[in-house]
Each structure stands twice: as structure tokens, then as C-alpha cells.
Structure 1
Amino acid sequence: MGYLFLALAILFSVLGNLFMKLSNGFKNRTATVLAVICYLIVTLTLTFSIQYLEVGIAYAIWSGTTILFVALIGTIFLKESRSLVKYVALSLITAGVVLLQIAA
């Protein structure tokens, strides 16, 4: 059950970050409201997930996976910068999340 809540937290965190980008500095009110709603859902689902999982493990998986997905979506759909260093760093984050999962 903890991993279901964690997956929902990751999903809404990624969506919240995308809506934050689309809000254009709070100029787009719809995107701003959607970002706030997503972050409220993230807070709830992450709180529920740590009832079942270790807080350090859950937080590391949540933050690392969110960073990975947001960075990849940014480079693919938002035409953000691409570089070898960026992809190596994302690979290291992925390796860290996998190792933490194995350790748990």
C-alpha cells in the first residue's frame, strides 16, 4: 500500500512541476490552480506512504524519481538543454534510487 501512495505522490509531483512551468510565473491562473492542487495531493499521498515505508527511503525515491521524470519531460517536450553531463547525472540519480530500493 505504501508504494501505491508513493507512486501517486510521484505522479502528482511531476504534474505539479509541469503545471508550475505552464503557469508562467502565476500568469496562467488555471495552471497555477492545478499546480497547487497537485502539490496538496502530493503532501497527502506522501504522508500516507510514510505510514508504510521508511521516511528516508520514501523521500529519496519520491524526490529522485520526480527529478528524473521532470528532467526527461523537460528535455523531450519543453526543449530544455541536453548534454552528456545532464544524462550522466540523471543516470546516477536513477542508480541511487534503485540502490535505495534494494537496500529497503
Structure 2
Amino acid sequence: MGWIYLLIAGVLECLWAIGLKYSDGFTRLWPSLITAVLIVVSLALLSFAMRTIPVGTAYAVWSGIGASALAIVGILFMQEPGGALRIFCIGMIIAGVVGLKLVGGEGSTA
């Protein structure tokens, strides 16, 4: 269940990061409120995931999901550069996240 929480937390991280852009420095009410709720829920789910996934693995996967997904969203929808080297680097982040899952990210955190 921890990995499901972590995946959802990572997706919510992407959404709240986009929300930060649209909140305009927390000067727009509704985007700011939605962003704040997404932040709280994302961090709560990350915390739940850390019950069964080591903190280093959970945080690396959570931030990796956010970093790679937002870079892809930026390329596809926000006219950010998408050269071969940038795409390769995004692939390396994804490979690292998958690698952390494959090498046994679950276990005792004590």
C-alpha cells in the first residue's frame, strides 16, 4: 500500500507545483487554496508511504516523480526546451526511480 500512497503523493506534487505557478505568489485566492490543499494531501500521503518505505527511498521517488513529470509537462505544454540531452536526463531520473523500487524499497525503517 505504501507504493500506492507514494505514487499518488508524487502525482499530487506535480499538481501543486503547477498550482504554485497559477497562484501568482499566493496572490490569487482559489489557485492558492487549491495549491495549499494539494501540498497538505501530498505530504500526508508521503508520510503514510514512509511507514513501510525507507525515508531516503520514499523521498527520492516522490521528488523524482515530480521532477520528471513536471519536466515532461513543461516540454509538452509550456514551451520549455526539449532537446535530446534534456530528455536523456529526464530518462535518467525515471531510471533512478525505477531502480530504487527494484532494489527493495520496502522494509523496516527502524
Q: Same fold (TM over 0.5)?
A: yes
Q: Which residue of 1 aligns with 2:51?
A: 51
Residue 76 in structure 1 maps to residue 76 in structure 2 = yes
What is the root-mean-square deviation of aligned Cα atoms in Å? Answer: 1.2
Q: In structure 2, how many angstroms separate the alpha carbons of the residues matched to 1:58 and 1:3?
A: 9
Q: Which residue of 2 aligns with 1:89?
A: 89
Q: Report the Cα offset of residue 11 of structure 1.
A: 1.6
Count of residue correspondences: 104
One-letter amino acid of the structure 2 residue matched with residue 39 of structure 1: I
Q: In structure 1, how many angstroms separate the alpha carbons of the residues matched to 2:75 and 2:94?
A: 17
**5+ residue gaps, structure 1:** none
One-letter amino acid of the structure 2 residue matched with residue 12 of structure 1: L
Q: Report the Cα offset of residue 43 of structure 1.
A: 1.3
Please, which moves more after superposition, 76-85 or 54-63?
A: 76-85
One-letter amino acid of the structure 1 residue matched with residue 34 of structure 2: L
Structure number having the greater helix percentage: 1
With the length of structure 2 as denominator, give the TM-score of the two structures: 0.87
Q: In structure 2, how many angstroms separate the alpha carbons of the residues matched to 1:62 and 1:39?
A: 13
Q: In structure 2, how many angstroms separate the alpha carbons of the residues matched to 1:32 and 1:79?
A: 24
The alignment partner of 2:25 has SS state of coil
Q: Report the Cα offset of residue 24 of structure 1.
A: 2.2
With the length of structure 1 as denominator, give the TM-score of the two structures: 0.91
Q: Report the Cα offset of residue 27 of structure 1.
A: 3.1
The runs of at least 4 aligned residues of structure 1 exceeding 6 Å deviation read: none
Q: Which residue of 1 aligns with 2:13?
A: 13
Q: Report the Cα offset of residue 12 of structure 1.
A: 1.1
Q: Which residue of 2 aligns with 1:67?
A: 67
Q: Report the Cα offset of residue 57 of structure 1.
A: 1.1
